[in-house]
């Protein structure tokens, strides 16, 4: 059908030609006298550079003072320094052709930036000013706090947010990783003094890592960095230890009721291992084969065969202290039970039968091949370097990663799935209209029902 006849049609798949050497650029590493750690790599794709100044403390380290406090601090950091008011900061950034964002996750705070190579020094000077001399103007703080109030209300209308929040609560309990966003009451209680103390403790050179990738000469850039950041001072913060996470046993269903929802957001998850664990690469490949790639078992099953969902996927979500594995799919309301059945069928199959060697070879090629795509852009390379540096992985991590992936066998995957992907202990979150979901979800375990604000119904 729909064929255009042609004289000669090549019907065989062309073989792969000889692979070209993948070479990661040389990294220049340094530690300034004030403790600031620096990693630089050259990438001359465009006359620009990308950088990120990480502070190795985020919302988890600030949790005992207030939920989301590191994020709020990062937000207000860009709104004024002792030298420049908010408006001047924004206009100066534009004058430098630069983009800048300040944000915080569970484990780190960061100032991310990108700009023109010819204007690198003034942009670094501004980053230094934000890291050292943020002024937290009262009016700016008050406005950003009111903004945040509206944002946290909006978050609670998004099915993806509600599912992620509930899973983190279930998996981490009293550990700070359970808190993905503050409540309205918590935001209302933020004080400017809280932000100032987080800023004083977290934003220090001993706690910092500066990464830059781009069109520059590394030796010259390092000198510039020494000049710009050399006078910064401060020691590593002391953070009290966090309480142990929940680590729930047994399968349970956690339903978040959204009246009138026309689709069900499924999120299934369990505790996993961090990037520093020796099994990390094995679990990564197992995940890829299960649901981490387009050509994975889960996508083939519930999308390409059954048509239940548009974007099913699985992933390992690495946080510094703990990590978790999760499977997500937004499905038609009437196929919640059918989707969960297939999700668990594919998991159990990985634990029961060795993966056929050709399928494993495909997955190995995928994971090692896409890893090299990161080399081609400044932003991609920056992300890879930050993974290595923030997790304190070995210096040759990038160079040896692909070989480690290629050495994995069907037995490795079988043992990894048996060790980490136990469907009997998976926590099931479903966000949707309770009247449609409840009877289907109840087939998979005891049920808790919540509203979008976390109020427990039953």
Partner 1 sequence: MHLKISIESATLANGLKVVVAPDTTAPVVTVGVYYKIGFRLEPRGRSGFAHLFEHMMFQGSANAPKMQHIKLINSSGGTLNGSTHYDVTNYFESVPSNALERVLWLEADRMRALKVDDENLRNQRDVVKEEVRVNVLNQPYGGFPWLDLPPIAFRNWANAHNFYGDFGDLDAASLADVQSFFKTYYAPNNAVLLILGDVKADEGLALARKYFGDIPAGAAPPFADPREPEQSEERRGEVEEKFGTLPAMAIGYTVPPRRTTDWCAMALLDQALHGGRAGRMYRHLVLEKQVAVEVDGGIEDIFGYNGPTQMVTKILHKPEYSSDATLGEFDSVMREVQQNGITQDELDQLTVKFRSDYYSTLEGSHGGMPRYGLMHLLACFSLFDNEPQLVNTVLDGFLAVKREDIQSVAKKYLRNDKRAIVFRRPASAQAQEAA
Q: Which is nearer to partner 1, 33 or 373 (CB)?
A: 373
Among 171, 293, 319, 385, binds partner 1 (CB under 8 A): 293
Looking at the chain, how many residues does it have?
A: 458
How many CA atoms lie within 13 Å of 269's alpha carbon, on the beta-carbon side? 31
Per-residue interface string for the shown chain with partner 1, residues 328-357, x marking contact by CB under 8 A: --xxx-------------------------
β 323-331/313-318 pair status: antiparallel
Q: Site residues for partner 1, window 30-49 (CB under 8 A)?
A: 43-48
Does 110 interact with partner 1 (rule: CB under 8 A)? no
Stretch that binds partner 1, among 182-190, 216-224, 297-305, 410-418 (CB under 8 A): 297-305
Does 97 interact with partner 1 (rule: CB under 8 A)? yes
Does 87 interact with partner 1 (rule: CB under 8 A)? yes
Does 96 interact with partner 1 (rule: CB under 8 A)? yes
197: buried, middle or exposed (CB in 10 Å: 19+, 13-18, 0-12)?
Answer: middle
Neighbours of 267 (CB within 10 A): 25
Among 361, 407, 424, 442, binds partner 1 (CB under 8 A): 361
β 37-42/208-214 pair status: parallel
Does 398 interact with partner 1 (rule: CB under 8 A)? no
Q: Which is nearer to partner 1, 423 or 440 (CB)?
A: 440
Residue 171's alpha-carbon distances to 135, 149, 165, 178, 195, in angstroms, are 38, 26, 10, 7, 28
Bridge partners of residue 252, in order along the sequence: 427, 446
Count of residues interacting with partner 1 (CB under 8 A):
92
Per-residue interface string for the shown chain with partner 1, residues 199-218, x marking contact by CB under 8 A: --------------------
Q: How far is the CB of 328 from partner 1 (least distance, A)?
A: 11
**Taking the mean position of all CA atoms in its chain, how far away is CA 292?**
14
Q: Which is nearer to partner 1, 25 or 354 (CB)?
A: 25
How many CA atoms lie within 13 Å of 72's alpha carbon, on the beta-carbon side? 37
Q: Which is nearer to partner 1, 207 or 309 (CB)?
A: 309
Bridge partners of residue 40, in order along the sequence: 28, 212
Does 310 interact with partner 1 (rule: CB under 8 A)? yes
138: left (phi over 0), alpha (psi -120 to 50) or beta: alpha
Among 218, 321, 365, 425, binds partner 1 (CB under 8 A): 365
Stretch that binds partner 1, among 124-132, 189-197, 369-377, 392-400 (CB under 8 A): 369-377
What is Dmax (Cα atoms) for the chain?
78
Among 150, 217, 396, 446, binds partner 1 (CB under 8 A): 150
Q: How far is the CB of 135 from partner 1 (least distance, A)?
A: 16
11: buried, middle or exposed (CB in 10 Å: 19+, 13-18, 0-12)?
Answer: exposed
DSSP designation for 134:
B
Among 30, 125, 261, 393, binds partner 1 (CB under 8 A): 261
Q: Site residues for partner 1, window 4-23 (CB under 8 A)?
A: 4-22
Among 137, 248, 374, 445, binds partner 1 (CB under 8 A): 374
250: left (phi over 0), alpha (psi -120 to 50) or beta: left
Among 217, 244, 304, 411, binds partner 1 (CB under 8 A): 304
Structure tokens at 386: 């930050």
Does 407 interact with partner 1 (rule: CB under 8 A)? no
Q: How far is the CB of 361 from partner 1 (least distance, A)?
A: 7
Structure tokens at 361: 């070879």
Residue with tokens 């039953």: 458
Q: Which is nearer to partner 1, 50 or 56 (CB)?
A: 50
Cβ 403 vs Cβ 140: under 8 Å: no
What whole-number distance in Å separates Cα of residue 156 and Cα of residue 166?
11
Residue with tokens 């501004």: 126
Q: Site residues for partner 1, window 152-181 (CB under 8 A)?
A: 153-154, 157-159
Bridge partners of residue 38, in order along the sequence: 30, 210
């Amino acid at each position: 059908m729909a064929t255009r006849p042609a004289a000669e049609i090549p019907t065989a798949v062309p073989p792969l030609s000889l692979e070209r050497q993948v070479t990661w650029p040389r990294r220049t590493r340094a530690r300034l006298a004030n403790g600031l750690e620096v990693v630089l790599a050259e990438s001359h794709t465009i006359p620009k550079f990308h950088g990120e100044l990480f502070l190795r403390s985020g919302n988890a380290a600030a949790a005992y003072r207030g939920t989301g406090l590191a994020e709020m601090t990062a937000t207000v950091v860009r709104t004024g320094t002792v030298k420049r008011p908010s408006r001047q900061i924004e206009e100066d950034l534009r004058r430098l052709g630069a983009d800048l964002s300040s944000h915080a996750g569970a484990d780190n705070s960061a100032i991310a930036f990108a700009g023109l190579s010819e204007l690198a020094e003034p942009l670094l000077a501004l980053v230094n000013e934000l890291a050292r001399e943020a002024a937290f103007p009262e009016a700016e703080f008050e406005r950003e706090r009111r903004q945040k109030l509206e944002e946290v209300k909006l978050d609670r209308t998004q099915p993806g947010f509600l599912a992620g929040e509930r899973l983190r609560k279930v998996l981490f309990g009293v550990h700070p990783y359970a808190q993905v966003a503050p409540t309205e009451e918590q935001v209302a209680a933020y004080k400017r003094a809280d932000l100032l103390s987080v800023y004083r403790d977290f934003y220090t050179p001993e706690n910092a890592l500066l990464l830059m990738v781009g069109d520059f000469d590394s030796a010259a850039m390092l000198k510039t960095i020494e000049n710009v950041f050399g006078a910064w001072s401060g020691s590593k913060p002391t953070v009290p230890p966090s309480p142990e996470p929940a680590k729930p046993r047994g399968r349970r269903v956690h339903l978040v009721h959204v009246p009138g929802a026309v689709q069900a957001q499924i999120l299934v998850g369990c505790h996993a291992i961090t990037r520093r664990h020796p099994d990390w690469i094995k679990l990564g490949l197992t995940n890829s084969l299960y649901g981490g790639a387009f050509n994975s078992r889960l996508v083939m099953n519930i999308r390409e065969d059954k048509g239940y969902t548009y974007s099913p996927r699985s992933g390992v979500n690495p946080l510094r202290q703990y990590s978790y594995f999760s499977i997500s799919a937004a499905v038609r309301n009437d196929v919640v039970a059918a989707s969960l059945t297939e999700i668990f069928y594919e998991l159990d199959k990985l634990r029961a039968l060795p993966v056929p060697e050709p399928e494993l070879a495909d997955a190995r090629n995928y994971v090692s091949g896409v890893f090299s795509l990161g080399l081609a852009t400044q932003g991609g390379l920056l992300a890879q370097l930050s993974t290595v540096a923030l997790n304190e992985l070995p210096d040759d991590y990038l160079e040896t990663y692909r070989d480690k992936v290629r050495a994995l066998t069907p037995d490795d995957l079988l043992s990894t799935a048996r060790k980490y992907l136990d469907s009997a202990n998976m926590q099931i979150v479903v966000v949707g209209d309770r009247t449609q979901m409840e009877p289907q979800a109840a087939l998979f375990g005891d049920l808790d029902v919540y509203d979008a604000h976390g109020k427990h119904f039953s």
